[in-house]
Structure 1
Amino acid sequence: MAPNHKVHDASSQELVQPQYSIFTRLWYSAQIWGVKAAILLVFRTVRFFQPTPPELRPTKLLAYPCRPKLPTRIFIPKSKQVDSGPLPLYLDLHGGGHSLMFAEFDDEFCATLANRFNIIVVSIEYSLAPSSGFPALTNDVVAIAQATIDNPDLNIDKSRVVLGGFSAGGNLTLSAAQYPELRERLKGIVAWYPPTDYTLSPKERQASRPYRNSKDTDDLKDFGPVFEWKEDLPKWIYIIGAEYDMLEREARDTASELAGLSEQEREDEKYGFERDTLKWTLVRGVRHGFTHDMKDGRPAEEEAVRKLRAEEMMEMVGEWLFKGPFAKV
């Protein structure tokens, strides 16, 4: 069952995705595969010379019969005792534009989250474009998430399960959480700087981005339905945006629509609001992907701000989790 695909359009007409020629699609596919190969080469080279510290590595890898080629990365907190009770579960979805990166890219975040807040974190691998298209990616997430929740060996508190993701993973979080068979098992979701409106062109996105100066550039040159989904999501929702990100406006609009904010409220509470079980935070002074060390040679001052904001948001999300979806009833 696919998510609701109704979109908000000024003309109230259904929007149709343009169909490109076979040559254009082949060219795009070749470009994607080239970028994928380059990223993998750089990532493995960095990992060879700078191995992941033992404390940031997953406790174990585990694939399920439903998706045997997509192993999950499981992070059990160091403080968990063999005979301790069940723990909350946070399911993580990596970013990468639905076509790049892999679950290992989130290891530092997942290990830190697990150990700091004494929860089980499972990073889900999902199939990628161009080999797979929608809804295969969402179906992977739904199937693997359910298999993880049902795994008796993990000793999960099934009443406290949250699904979260970064960028494209945040988009998949919003997509997968609408499936009834998974939604009823989730207490909440966390979407970090997600794309939510694929009706916007790159130019429209870039025009909405608050650049710091006229020569500034965007990390996302080409990337994109605002679903009528308010009744189709779990109770607790946290959406996070990055100030210098061309996806910020659509993420904020989505949070504002879900909260039913007026135009004035949207302006007055641009950087953050909380309505019942929905929370929005716009992180100041950072770009898309600020939660991860991209090792892209950013200026030291900017990197220091990135680390500080990532640390602050880790604490803020952890606090929100235990006040909301992970709170014991």
Structure 2
Amino acid sequence: MWSLEHVQWACIRAVANTSLYVRHSPWLSPTTQPDSVKTYQCRPNLYPCRVFTPRGHNGQDALPLVIRAHGGGFIVNNPTVDDPIARHLADNARCIVVSIDYGKAPQNKFPAAYEDVIAQSLAVIDDPDLPLDRSKVVLCGSSAGGNLLLAAAQDPRLLSKVVGVAAIYPVVDLTTDGDAKMATRPDASVPDFIGNSYSSITRLLFDAAQKPSSTDTRISPTYFATRDSLPPNVLLIGCEHDMFCHEDEAMANKLAALSTEAKVNTEAGWRAPGVQWHKVLGQPHAFEAFPAKTPEKEKARTDALDAMYSVISKWLIDVFSNSGGK
């Protein structure tokens, strides 16, 4: 039986999905459109996958693959929300990007979304109609999508097929509550819209009678068993004013500590063998989706977004150039 909370989130999801289809329609966003859409029969009841190929590709040469999973707190959004980043990565990293969907809570309790991303990822990788270099497959997700793909990347069904995973401001540790996460932020005066919703989201995501351990890697991917539990290349991105930034950096440090080589500093983070950390300074969770209220802050936001896209593209190019024959 649905509670008022269930109804409220269902209404929010309906409004969000309608808004996304309008804002990312060919009429309002002609430059970020996918080249095709496709429904895989392994999950026919989800929103169609959106397929992006690099501009100018001849359709014949095999290309690397990026499988993209959107954010939305496990409850809202659909693959259209990722059209801008998918188009950017396809064109700038010269790869095929396929944005996938997954079942949303509360109708679809854990582990439905987890199983959805694995099933669709495998279907995309095995798709004979896509000109893919299957030795160069990377997963890339934001927020809830980042959580799902960091978790799915550790699943034996997918791990051997993937050379990298990039996660943008994902939740990676469900052992701490929302208040504890909010307390890790450097400036409590900066709003964080996830903070007020975090406990509601976790209630709707899990069946109380069957909730797994909070250290289960399917929900808390930072508790990976060994370095080989994850693909050889990991990019973690956090936002300075995001309640998940602290745990994201902690996961990156955990991966770096498994190497005998020292970190090398970058402009806004560092890299070590097999892992790169990038912190988006001055921005909150999901900053790319919400324009700032003043021209100065909006310029800072768009500059940060451009820089983040550039970091991801350069990381992908490096991963693709050093992978092959997996």
Shorter chain as normaliser: what TM range? 0.7 to 0.9
Counterpart in the other structure of 1:6? none
Secondary structure of the corresponding residue to residue 56 of structure 2: coil
The structure-2 alpha-carbon separation of the partners of 1:76 and 1:269, relative to structure 1 and needing over 3 Å to count, comes to closer
Secondary structure of the corresponding residue to residue 307 of structure 1: helix
What is the CA-CA distance between 1:118 and the residue it aligns to? Answer: 1.6
What is the CA-CA distance between 1:44 and the residue it aligns to? Answer: 4.7
What is the CA-CA distance between 1:271 and the residue it aligns to? Answer: 5.1
- The AA in structure 2 aligned to 1:312 is A
What is the CA-CA distance between 1:325 and the residue it aligns to? Answer: 4.1
- State how far apart, in whole Å, the 1-side matches of 2:277 and 2:51 are: 28
- State how far apart, in whole Å, the 2-side matches of 1:175 and 1:60 are: 28
The structure-2 alpha-carbon separation of the partners of 1:76 and 1:287, relative to structure 1 and needing over 3 Å to count, comes to same
What is the CA-CA distance between 1:307 and the residue it aligns to? Answer: 1.0
Contact 2:79 2:100 in 1 (8 A): yes
What is the CA-CA distance between 1:200 and the residue it aligns to? Answer: 1.4
Q: 1:319 aligns with which of 289, 314, 317?
A: 314
Counterpart in the other structure of 1:34? 11
Counterpart in the other structure of 1:150? 126
Q: 1:77 aligns with which of 54, 64, 89?
A: 54
Aligned pairs (5 A) from 1:110-259: 110-211=86-187, 215-221=189-195, 222-223=197-198, 225=220, 226-230=222-226, 231-259=228-256
- State how far apart, in whole Å, the 1-side matches of 2:308 and 2:223 are: 26
Aligned pairs (5 A) from 1:268-307: 272-290=269-287, 292-295=288-291, 298-307=293-302
- State how far apart, in whole Å, the 1-side matches of 2:236 and 2:164 are: 11
What is the CA-CA distance between 1:216 and the residue it aligns to? Answer: 2.8
Secondary structure of the corresponding residue to residue 64 of structure 1: coil
What is the CA-CA distance between 1:115 and the residue it aligns to? Answer: 1.4
Q: What whole-Å deviation, never above 9, does each CA across 1:102-137 have from its counterpart, x for those lacking one? A: 110011111121112221000001111111111111
Q: What whole-Å deviation, never above 9, does each CA across 1:43-89 have from its counterpart, x for those lacking one? A: 455457x9343331111111111111222100011210133x20000
Long gaps (5+) in structure 2: 203-219
- State how far apart, in whole Å, the 2-side matches of 1:44 and 1:82 are: 27
What is the CA-CA distance between 1:31 and the residue it aligns to? Answer: 2.4
- State how far apart, in whole Å, the 2-side matches of 1:175 and 1:261 are: 19
Question: Which stretch shows the higher mean deviation, 318-327 or 188-197?
Answer: 318-327
What is the CA-CA distance between 1:235 and the residue it aligns to? Answer: 0.7
- The AA in structure 2 aligned to 1:243 is E
Report sequence identity in percent. 33
- State how far apart, in whole Å, the 2-side matches of 1:180 and 1:60 are: 30
The structure-2 alpha-carbon separation of the partners of 1:44 and 1:63, relative to structure 1 and needing over 3 Å to count, comes to closer
- State how far apart, in whole Å, the 1-side matches of 2:322 and 2:258 are: 26
Aligned residues: 297
Secondary structure of the corresponding residue to residue 38 of structure 2: strand
Counterpart in the other structure of 1:19? none
Long gaps (5+) in structure 1: 1-21
The structure-2 alpha-carbon separation of the partners of 1:170 and 1:218, relative to structure 1 and needing over 3 Å to count, comes to same
Question: Which stretch shows the higher mean deviation, 135-144 or 301-310?
Answer: 301-310
- State how far apart, in whole Å, the 1-side matches of 2:40 and 2:258 are: 42
User: 4+ residue runs of structure 1 moved beyond 4 angstroms?
Assistant: 44-48, 268-271
Question: Which stretch shows the higher mean deviation, 52-61 or 119-128?
Answer: 52-61
The structure-2 alpha-carbon separation of the partners of 1:240 and 1:112, relative to structure 1 and needing over 3 Å to count, comes to same
- State how far apart, in whole Å, the 2-side matches of 1:216 and 1:313 are: 21
Contact 1:178 1:229 in 2 (8 A): no
What is the CA-CA distance between 1:275 and the residue it aligns to? Answer: 1.5
- State how far apart, in whole Å, the 1-side matches of 2:179 and 2:74 are: 20
RMSD: 2.5
- State how far apart, in whole Å, the 1-side matches of 2:150 and 2:253 are: 15
- The AA in structure 1 aligned to 2:249 is R
**TM-score (norm. length: structure 1):** 0.83
Q: What whole-Å deviation, never above 9, does each CA across 1:157-216 have from its counterpart, x for those lacking one? A: 0000000100010000111111111110001000100001112111111111111xx643
What is the CA-CA distance between 1:328 and the residue it aligns to? Answer: 5.1
Contact 1:270 1:282 in 2 (8 A): no
- State how far apart, in whole Å, the 2-side matches of 1:42 and 1:63 are: 22
What is the CA-CA distance between 1:313 and the residue it aligns to? Answer: 1.6
Contact 2:17 2:78 in 1 (8 A): no
Question: Which stretch shows the higher mean deviation, 164-173 or 29-38?
Answer: 29-38
Contact 2:63 2:94 in 1 (8 A): yes
Counterpart in the other structure of 1:89? 65
